[in-house]
């Protein structure tokens, strides 16, 4: 007997949903995208026409009333994730939601609690895909003791362009839409958790270098989300992690990562090539990282496998989302108050 298809409804169909989630679901056997609800009925219809999705709903709540839908993919901005997730679970639907998890740590905790009340339903967050290439090799080296005892970490995520004065306003510049996430610091911390575990104490300083941006109608509006932040946080073993994130570092060297231990050093360059050396070496050497051993994007496959009961969600469960949401909020609280913030919140 043929396997019953998993029928998915899309709530929000922005660039990441169209470029990643829809193609991902299309590759899954016995999976159908059957409905979409976007910000307007017209934009929803365009997505439906492009991807042959049979039904378009004017409002996301109407989509949730469709009893034929088994699961929803929530692709809206973070400020709607809590409300939509809770409503979808109440309607008995599995939930895959875009990152970041929510606007605040409390909203994320609400989502986790709701998922536990509906434990028969699968809940998953879209993981950051920026570190897939190096995830496996770093985890293996660290778990095998290459570093010895970890002492310190330096991570920089720097855009190479100059400050965009008078540039366009993006939803990520609006607290009400994006929540506490700043410069994708939550995504960077999510990767760091995979390699090193969770932080215990956070201190941060932040700055708004571009105080005004231009709305769609051409008017300038003030911006209060920082575009430059320095973060110092501590790991369980006492090692210190320094993260420097900026959108205003013109002609910078871009992204880099250094991990220093008692017995070894690991360096990742801006192209995600891995170099390492041990005590007694005179220089770093490149670490082999063949493509067949690297992690890769398979979110929709894991989500549907979990619904069928053949796989557990590892990338990323709601529990992990709560951790990065609490850390992200701790960064902002510290930057605003000048005080260290301890985790968990």
Q: What is the mean pLDDT of residues 67-93?
A: 97
Distance of CA 229 to the CA centre of its chain: 18
In a shared domain, residues 181 and 105: no
Domain limits at 188? 132-295+325-342
In a shared domain, residues 170 and 271: yes
Helix (H, G, I), strand (E, B) or coil at 153: strand
What would the pLDDT profile of 35-60 be if each residue is shown by its tens digit? Answer: 999 999 999 999 999 999 999 999 99
Distance of CA 75 to the CA centre of its chain: 12
Cα 140 from Cα 321, distance rounded (Å): 23
Stated as kind and residue range, the H or E segment containing 189 is: helix 185-196
Confidence of residue 129 (pLDDT cuts 50, 70, 90): confident
Task: Round the average pLDDT of the chain to a whole number and report it.
Answer: 96
Number of domains forming the structure of the chain? 2
Give the contacts of 338 (CB within 8 A, at least 6 positions apart): none
Q: What is the mean pLDDT of residues 90-100?
A: 97
Cα 317 from Cα 304, distance rounded (Å): 14
Q: What is the mean pLDDT of residues 24-45?
A: 97
In a domain, 1, yes or no: no
In a shared domain, residues 230 and 118: no
In a shared domain, residues 285 and 159: yes
pLDDT value, residue 118: 98
DSSP conformation class of 247: S
In a shared domain, residues 25 and 150: no
Check whether 1 has a pLDDT greater than 70. no
Check whether 181 has a pLDDT greater than 90. no
- The CATH number of whichever domain residue 14 belongs to comes to 3.40.50.720
In a shared domain, residues 155 and 239: yes
pLDDT value, residue 2: 55
Check whether 70 has a pLDDT greater than 70. yes
**Could you tell me what percent of the chain has a pLDDT over 70?**
99
Give, in order, the Cα–Cα distances in Å from 58 to each of 18, 101, 338: 18, 24, 45
Tell me the pTM.
0.94
């Amino acid at each position: 007997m043929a396997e019953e298809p998993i029928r998915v409804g899309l709530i929000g169909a922005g660039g990441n949903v169209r470029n990643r989630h829809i193609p991902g679901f299309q590759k899954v056997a016995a999976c159908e995208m059957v409905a979409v609800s976007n910000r307007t009925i017209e934009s929803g219809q365009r997505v439906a026409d492009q991807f042959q999705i049979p039904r378009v709903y004017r409002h996301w709540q109407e989509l949730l009333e469709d009893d034929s839908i088994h699961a929803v993919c929530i692709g809206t901005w973070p400020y709607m994730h809590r409300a939509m997730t809770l409503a979808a679970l109440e309607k008995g639907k599995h939930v895959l939601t875009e990152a970041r998890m929510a606007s605040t740590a409390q909203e994320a905790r609400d989502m986790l609690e709701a998922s536990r009340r509906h434990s028969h339903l699968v809940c998953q967050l879209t993981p950051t895909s920026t570190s897939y290439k190096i995830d496996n090799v770093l985890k293996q080296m660290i778990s095998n003791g290459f570093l010895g005892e970890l002492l310190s970490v330096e991570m920089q995520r720097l855009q190479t362009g100059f400050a965009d004065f008078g540039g366009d306003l993006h939803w990520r510049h609006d607290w009400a839409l994006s929540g506490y996430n700043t410069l994708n610091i939550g995504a960077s911390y999510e990767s760091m958790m995979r390699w090193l575990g969770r932080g215990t104490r956070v201190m941060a300083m932040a700055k708004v270098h571009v105080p005004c941006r231009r709305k769609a109608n051409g008017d300038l509006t003030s911006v209060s989300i920082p575009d430059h932040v320095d973060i110092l946080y501590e790991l369980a073993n006492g090692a210190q992690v320094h993260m420097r994130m900026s959108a205003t570092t013109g002609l910078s060297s871009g992204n880099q990562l250094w991990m220093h231990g008692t017995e070894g050093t690991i360096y990742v360059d801006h192209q995600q090539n891995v170099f390492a050396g041990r005590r007694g070496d005179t220089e770093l050497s490149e670490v082999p990282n063949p493509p067949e051993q690297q992690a890769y994007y398979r979110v929709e496959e894991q989500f549907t496998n979990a619904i069928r009961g053949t796989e557990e969600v590892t990338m990323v469960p709601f529990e992990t989302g709560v951790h990065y949401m609490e850390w992200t909020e701790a960064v902002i609280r510290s930057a605003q108050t000048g005080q260290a913030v301890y985790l968990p919140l």
